[in-house]
Structure 1
């Protein structure tokens, strides 16, 4: 019997987000990169070619872009945890990891960010 552990992901989703604690950060949106990884229940003895056996990543993408539209986040941590909450509500998800980072705030490093994950009892 074979078990297939599965993950679904969106990598480097680039969004313009109103984010930041300092007054200067509140003047204009900043570019934020978001990675999301969803854990799905394992499959036994093969992977069916059936949309019901997975999660709709279009829904995940749309939910994230809707979440950030028209509102301000003081902290990357808040944004990250709200995305995790979205993921936890998706049917068929057993866990999720989200990494949020600002790539443009320092010139001497790639980015500054925050990562968190959640596991759901099943």
Structure 2
């Protein structure tokens, strides 16, 4: 079940990365789009938090990998909140840069979970 949840998290992070790229290239604009992006990010955070809790509680072999993904996701989210609060322009670049690593960490957690559990 943890592997399936990680698959969902990976798909959601890929979708968020696509949204972020579209937003950065100014292909889409508007408050509704921004709120959708933030809402999807919060939903992904809640799912990932549940996966980390479940993986640690059950002693899953990929619990540390999933925890690392959550840590990256939290750092990325902090930069997202800085953007939302109209902080410095460099926060956008850092947020987008970290998005690639979040997707990579999520995909790595998924593949390691699938391989280790069989």
- Determine if the TM-score, normalized by the shorter chain, exceeds 0.5: no
The structure showing larger relative contact order (alpha-carbon pairs under 8 Å, at least 6 residues apart) is 2
Q: Which protein is bigger by CA-based radius of gyration?
A: 1
How high is the TM-score relative to the length of structure 1? 0.32
Which structure dedicates a bigger proportion of its chain to helix? 2
Which structure dedicates a bigger proportion of its chain to strand? 1
How high is the TM-score relative to the length of structure 2? 0.32
